[in-house]
Chains A and B, each alone.
Chain A
């Protein structure tokens, strides 16, 4: 006779399963994680070559503008040297949002999403650049790991327990809206200065949501951009398990458009991705490609941010 409640044992079992699953994906993606870590280190770390600034009594380079006043003051105003100023340390709040809807399981993209999640979250935790949050989304948004909890060795398996690919909708509008809220709250709780805090979200999904959502999503993305929250959409497209025409790259969408003058409705077929609202998106059919393409995209984004802030 056991003293354990049956529901407890069920819970324990699923925890054990989740742990095993996490270890499996971890070993699958170990080398890729390391490669991503190295690439991200170069991008996310603050640039060391910051500007030389004055005015010091000793330093590395003379400040030419101070020379004449220095001589005129009979060598009293001797703060004529410049030093390399200490770079401020950037800190990050990075949210990984994983699609938990049914289509992920049905399209076979679920395991590719898990590989991506494990690889990226491992890399980020190795980098120690800031806080990591993981959410699942579908019909609802569920926080599987919050910003405040350190990403320890038990974090991964706990996160996995939240995913089953059973949600019967893929509400990306809701995800973006609620993510912005989560980022706002996280920003108020951080100790780093607002200028040094960077907020970023990676959405890992098969990319298919109602295209009628595309316009509301676009509006929310502008809101996020104004608050300097970067949102990257990683479309996992497991083409190895798909038939021709099933890849999101080829996916077409039928619309019935009514001609106002005649009242006749006509068929229009468009490429699904043509109205896709995310400016920063990438399509991954093999997790091996991810470190490279993700690094390229982030580098491009940082270049754009730096350019626009100058």
Chain B
């Protein structure tokens, strides 16, 4: 099948994200911190992205929480940008931390 037909991102916006953390053991190498991410991504997708082999390449997935300006991200990036009056032209800094509450999606693994 055509690859583009599988691409669920078409028509979606993108935003430049910078992933930072204060935990040295899960820190990304400098060249991998900057990434264009679909704006429909929320905590689940962002967590999936960080665990992927391109990023942290974790053995077992670590559930992450994300903070923007000290506040937990509970919506999609798009909704966050709109609520803050920002556009996808502005790079977003996301601080990631290990999630303290076992997330629901872990059950599906």
Contacts and interface: CB of A to CB of B under 8 A. Distances in A.
Q: Do A and B come from one complex?
A: yes
B33 A256 contact: no
Nearest to A166: B89
A211 B36 contact: yes
Nearest to A103: B89
Interface string A257-283: 111100001010100100000000000
A269 B39 CA distance: 15
A250 B89 contact: no
A208 interface: yes
Interface string B22-40: 0000000011111111100
A254 interface: yes
B49 A244 contact: no
A254 B38 contact: yes
A168 B86 CA distance: 8
B57 to A, nearest CB: 11
B52 A259 contact: no
A215 B5 CA distance: 13
Interface residues of B, number: 34
B90 A169 contact: no
B34 A251 contact: yes
A254 B49 contact: yes
A170 B89 CA distance: 8
Contacts of B6: 257-260
A210 B54 contact: no
A272 B36 contact: yes
Contact of B35 (A101, A254, A258): A254
Given A243-B30, A269-B52, A257 B7 contact: yes
A265 B3 CA distance: 13
Interface of B: 1, 3-4, 6-14, 16, 30-38, 41, 45, 48-49, 52, 54-55, 87-91
